[in-house]
C-alpha cells in the first residue's frame, strides 16, 4: 500500500522543511543528508519518509513555495492601483530581475537545486511560466482597459514579453552578468517593449 501523506500533522512537515531549507542553503542539496535533517528535527531519517516521498520531494516542496512567493509578489506589482500600466510592466521586469538575482547571489548552491528540479520535474517550471503569462496578460488587459495600451492579443503578447525577458528568469544565466549589467539590459528592454505597447 502507498501510505498517503495527507492528514499528517502539518507542523511537523513545516519543521522538516525549515530544517532542510537551512541545510540546503548553507551546504547545498547534495551535501545535505537525510540523517542531518532528521537530527535537526530530533527524529529518525526513516520518519522523514512518512512526510515526504524522498529527498527531492522536500526540495520540490520548498521550491513550489518559493515560486508561489515570487508569483504573489509579482501579482502585487500589477495590483498597485497607483501606478500606470507602463510603470507596472517596468516593475514586473525589475521585480523578476531582482528576485532572481537576489536568490542567485544569496544562495551559493542554488544551481544545484535548480538542476535537481529540472531533471524530472520540468512541469513545475512550465506551470510557473504559465502563471507568469497569466499575470502579464491581466497587466496588459488592464492597460488596454484604461486606454494606455493598444494591444490586440494580450496573451500572445504576454508570451512574447516572457520570451524577451527570459534572461532574467533563468537562474543559470543570471549569475553570468553583474547586477549593473542586468539592470541596464532590463532598462533598455523595458523601454523598447513599451514603445510597442503604448497607444500611439
Binding-site partner at residue 185 among DNA, a second copy, none, CB < 5 to 8 Å by type: a second copy
- Cβ count near 9 (within 10 Å): 9
Q: In a 3-state reduction of DSSP, which class is residue 164? A: helix
Residues between 144 and 163 with contacts to a second copy, criterion CB under 8 A: 156-157, 159-161, 163
CA torsion angle for 36, 39, 43, 45 (degrees, to 10)?
A: 20
How far apart are CB 177 and a second copy at their closest, in Å? 10
160 counts as binding DNA under rule CB under 7 A? no
Q: Which range touches DNA (CB under 7 A), out of 28-36, 63-71, 162-170, 187-195? A: 28-36
Q: Give the span between the Cα atoms of 5 and 200, in whole angstroms.
A: 55
Residue with cell 523578476: 96
The crossing angle, in degrees rounded to 10, of helices 110-118 and 55-78 is 100
Residues near a second copy (CB under 8 A): 156-157, 159-161, 163-167, 170, 173, 185, 188-189, 191-197, 200
Residues near DNA (CB under 7 A): 8-9, 12, 30-35, 38, 42-47, 49-50, 53-56
Amino acid at each position: 500500500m502507498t501510505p498517503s501523506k495527507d492528514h499528517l500533522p502539518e507542523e511537523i512537515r513545516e519543521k522538516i522543511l525549515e530544517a532542510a531549507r537551512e541545510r540546503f542553503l548553507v551546504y547545498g542539496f547534495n551535501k545535505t543528508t537525510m540523517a542531518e535533517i532528521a537530527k535537526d528535527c530530533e527524529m529518525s531519517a526513516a520518519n522523514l519518509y512518512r512526510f515526504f516521498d524522498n529527498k527531492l520531494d522536500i526540495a520540490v516542496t520548498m521550491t513550489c513555495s518559493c515560486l508561489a512567493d515570487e508569483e504573489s509578489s509579482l501579482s502585487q506589482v500589477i495590483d498597485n492601483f497607483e501606478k500606470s500600466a507602463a510603470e507596472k510592466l517596468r516593475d514586473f521586469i525589475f521585480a523578476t530581475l531582482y528576485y532572481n538575482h537576489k536568490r542567485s547571489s544569496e544562495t551559493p548552491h542554488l544551481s544545484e537545486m535548480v538542476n535537481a528540479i529540472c531533471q524530472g520535474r520540468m512541469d513545475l517550471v512550465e506551470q510557473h511560466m504559465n502563471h507568469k503569462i497569466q499575470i502579464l496578460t491581466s497587466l496588459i488587459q488592464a492597460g488596454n482597459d484604461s486606454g494606455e495600451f493598444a494591444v490586440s492579443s494580450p496573451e500572445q503578447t504576454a508570451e512574447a514579453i516572457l520570451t524577451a525577458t527570459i534572461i532574467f528568469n533563468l537562474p543559470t544565466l543570471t549569475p553570468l552578468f553583474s547586477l549593473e549589467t542586468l539592470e541596464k539590459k532590463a532598462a533598455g528592454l523595458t523601454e523598447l517593449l513599451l514603445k510597442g505597447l503604448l497607444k500611439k
